[in-house]
Amino acid sequence: MIKDHLQADSAIKQEQDSDFSKMIDASLSRRRLLQGGATAMGLFLAANPMAQAIAASSHPESKLLGFRKIPTSTADTFVVPEGYIARPMISWGDPILSGAPAFNENGSQPSSAQAGQFGDNTDGMSFFPLSDDRALLAVNNEYTNYTLLFDHKGKALTADDVKKAQAAHGVSVFEIKRTDIGWEYIKDSSYNRRITANTEMMLTGPAAGHDLFKTSADRSGKKVLGTFNNCANGETPWGTYLTCEENFNGYFAKPEGEQDPHQKRYGIKSDSKYQWHQFDSRFDVSKEPNEPNRHGWVVEIDPMDPTSTPLKRTALGRFKHENAAVTVADNGHVVVYLGDDERGEHIYKFVSKNKYNASDKAGNRNLLEEGTLFVARFNAKEGEVKGTGEWIELTYGKNSLTRENGFNSQAEVMIFAREAATVVGATTMDRPEWVAVHPETKTVCCTLTNNKHRGRKDNQPVGGPNPRAANNYGQIVRWKESNGDNTSSTFKWDLFLVAGNPTVHKDFYAGSANITDENMFNSPDGLGFDQAGRLWIMTDGKYSNEGDFAGMGNNQVLVADPNTGEVRRFATGPIACELTGLTFSPDQRTVFIGVQHPGEKDQPSHFPAGGNRKPRSTIMVVQRKDGGIIGT
Ligand code: FEO
Ligand code: CA
Ligand code: CA
């Protein structure tokens, strides 16, 4: 019985492997086709090996994508395909805790109000079922915009204003219930919780208690206040939420010229637009040099217990974390893929020491405590955008991570993971954003959102998965681990798509062959697979609709068929927003989509209330009018 099962498994793996090579083959035969020069684009591609290489396979009509594509939009609305409805569920400032006041858009509410309200700028989110018609949503609140948060627009900051800004950050957990009109949030549920920049949490794992974590308020080096700039997310098979700390550096300040090399690599500057350091000395790096080391981690939260202590998992490394894509490998080890969102930074993978055991809830709770962190090196022949890759171990004492190279312990390798990645020769990427793992094939995709420095800095050469200089548009890299084993140390990769503008450019800035004037976009960011394997892509790009971005309109959600390469536009957001945060109900009949920073930089948005109202970051509930499965 067991043997049959294993044979069936390996048959599936072989099929998956050959699918992946078929895809690369298809791309090659497309190249041959193009060398025939059937169209003007084809002629160009024929003359340009780079462009040939990034041309995707031709895409016969997708069986996975069943909805009608929508055009681009510059309107101040959220648009979904014919047959779908979208409704705002919760906006920044809506009360979620008992006793919290209703939102007042005049910006004069004190920190105590914000502490009981939904935080600002919704980002990554996960759905945790309680029953068929009740669930918890855990949602990141990435940052806040002072021109909207305060009546004085940030120009007359007080100590309570800093507390209010800190309370607008972090994570919101709240109960939702299914009603006649779809899912709605419950204001006073006992599950509801705000986690902010001041919530007490613990540092755990190999770096916990290290001297580099000790501050005047915490001699243990283990107890830390808060999480902020929580970008994207992940969820574990044991029911916890992972929130990822991204641009934590922007909240700290240290005078120019006084930053040490570690602080420079992590982007500590002389000033902070948030100005917390003026009122809260732990953000003044001259006074608390170790406080920045306590941020830039993945934090694990048990959403089911509102009294639980969030745990910062130092085994997953410190960098500007985008999301945490979790999968259980066939051998039972837990694998977490991680991107570091900065031009020229890296893609990482954590493999747990212990194995996942579905019947050991308590044991699973420690799986992210101990394991091995790896960083990716992508290999390619010149001019090719496919190749092989390796995962290089970031373990103290191995791969030159020694005293001679500035590392004295595993704790230091984790705290300065970026510098360890440089020592081992990791590939510098075009801003790794979200990673997603296909639910069946375990193929992995990562959005590389854009990189204006590519080809202009020595450590960021053009080539491999980063094939264009001054990359305005971004691409999605895809890899398959050797033998279908997500704990493997080698992989094969290619580019699933290269974004571009075929109406403006005829060279490789037009994008890959699966990008057309009907589905073009820039700066892919949010990414996720649904249960059927559709790839959902969310954009955080330029919305000027001019020049290189002409015809692209507002930020968008697109859905791709990973088998055919077809990409179709599913949603468009309001003015000057980014669409980020995506989660499905388990029946796949509802998708929750986040609208972040509508009207940023004083652009004229009044989303979602309209009229003359202040724009507010909002989670949309999207369903089909006939109640059917989303995307089909
Ligand atoms: Fe918060 Fe890299 O986006
Ligand atoms: Ca993002
Ligand atoms: Ca982005």
Structural tokens at position 72: 């681009």
Q: Write out the two tokens for 530.
A: 């649904």
Distance CA 489, CA 546 (A): 43
Ligand 1 site, residue 322, Cβ cutoff 6 A: yes
Q: Which residues contact 533 (CB under 8 A, 6 or more apart)?
A: 64, 438, 439, 440, 441, 562
**Res 25: pLDDT:** 35
Residue with tokens 């057309």: 516
Q: Which residues contact 79 (CB under 8 A, 6 or more apart)?
A: 70, 73, 86, 571, 572
Long-range contacts of 279-283 (CB under 8 A, 24+ apart): 279/157, 279/158, 279/159, 279/162, 280/159, 280/162, 280/166, 282/215, 282/217, 282/225, 283/251, 283/252, 283/253
Helix (H, G, I), strand (E, B) or coil at 620: strand
Percent of the chain with pLDDT over 70: 91
Instruction: Find the 596 Cα to ligand 1 centroid distance in Å.
Output: 11
Is 228 within 8 Å of 436 (Cβ atoms)?
Answer: no
As assigned by CATH, the class of the 2-246+296-624 domain is: mainly beta
Q: How far apart are CA 162 and CA 593, in angstroms?
A: 29
CA of 246, closest atom in ligand 1: 1
User: Residues of the chain with pLDDT > 90: what percent?
Assistant: 90
Nearest to 96 by CA among 164, 186, 228, 168: 186
The answer to whether 592 touches 125, Cβ cutoff 8 Å, is yes
How confident is the model over 441-458, as a mean pLDDT? 98
**By mean pLDDT, which of 27-31, 255-259, 401-405, 426-430 is the weakest?**
27-31
Residue 340 Cβ < 6 Å to ligand 1 = no
Question: Please, is 627 exposed, middle or buried when counting C-beta atoms within 10 Å of its C-beta (0-12, 13-18, 19+)?
Answer: exposed
Q: State the pLDDT at residue 36.
A: 28
Per residue in 456-482, pLDDT tens? Answer: 999 999 999 999 999 999 999 999 999
Q: How far is the CA of 84 from the centre of ligand 2 (A)?
A: 25
- Ligand 2 center–CA 302 separation, angstroms: 23
pLDDT score recorded for residue 43: 35
Residue 28 confidence (pLDDT) above 60: no
What is the distance in A from the centroid of ligand 3 to the CA of 433? 7
Task: Note the pLDDT of residue 60.
Answer: 64
**How does DSSP assign 458-495, residue by residue?**
TTS-SBTTB-SSSBSS-EEEEEEEGGG-TT-SEEEEEE
The confidence score (pLDDT) of residue 21 equals 40
Residue 37 has pLDDT above 60, yes or no: no
Are 414 and 509 in contact, with CB atoms under 8 Å apart?
Answer: no
pTM over 0.85: yes
Dist. CA 557–CA 569, nearest whole Å: 6
205 backbone φψ class: left, alpha, beta (φ>0; ψ -120 to 50): left
- pLDDT tens per residue, range 531-549: 999 999 999 999 999 999 9
Task: Give the chain's mean pLDDT.
Answer: 92
What is the pLDDT, as a whole number, of residue 483?
97
**Residue found by looking up tokens 């997708």 in the block:** 62
- Model pLDDT, residue 479: 98
Q: Which of 168, 174, 222 is nearest to 196 (CA)?
A: 168
Atom 1, ligand 1: residue with shortest CA distance: 231
Per-residue pLDDT, 61: 78
Tokens read off for 559 = 């859905």
Question: SS3 helix, strand, coil % of the chain, rounded to 5?
Answer: 20, 30, 50
Residues contacting 397, CB < 8 A, separation 6+:
none
Q: Considering all CA atoms of the chain, what is the largest pairwise distance in Å, rounded to the nearest integer?
A: 71
- What was the pLDDT predicted at 51? 45
| Ligand 1 close to Cβ of residue 433 (< 6 A) | yes
**What SS3 class is residue 411?**
helix
pLDDT at 47: 38
Decide: 246 in ligand 1 pocket, CB within 6 A: yes
DSSP string, 197-263: TT-EEEEESTTTT-GGG-BTTBTTS-EEE---SEEEEEE-TTS-EEEEE-SGGGG-B--TT---HHH
- Give pLDDT tens digits for 144-193: 999 999 999 999 999 999 999 999 999 999 999 999 999 999 999 999 99
**Measured distance CA(433)–CA(17) in Å, rounded:** 25
Closest ligand 1 atom to residue 431 Cα is 2
Q: How far is the CA of 474 from the centre of ligand 3 (A)?
A: 10
Domain boundaries, the chain: 2-246+296-624
- In this prediction, residue 62 carries a pLDDT of 86
pLDDT in tens, 292-321: 999 999 999 999 999 999 999 999 999 999
Instruction: Please tell me the predicted confidence (pLDDT) of residue 48.
Output: 43
Structure confidence by residue, pLDDT tens digits, 381-400: 999 999 999 999 999 999 99
* Distance separating alpha carbons of residues 514 and 23, to the nearest angstrom: 13
- Which has the higher per-residue pLDDT, 39 or 544? 544
The C-alpha atoms of residue 185 and residue 176 are separated, in whole angstroms, by: 4
142 lines ligand 1 (CB under 6 A): yes
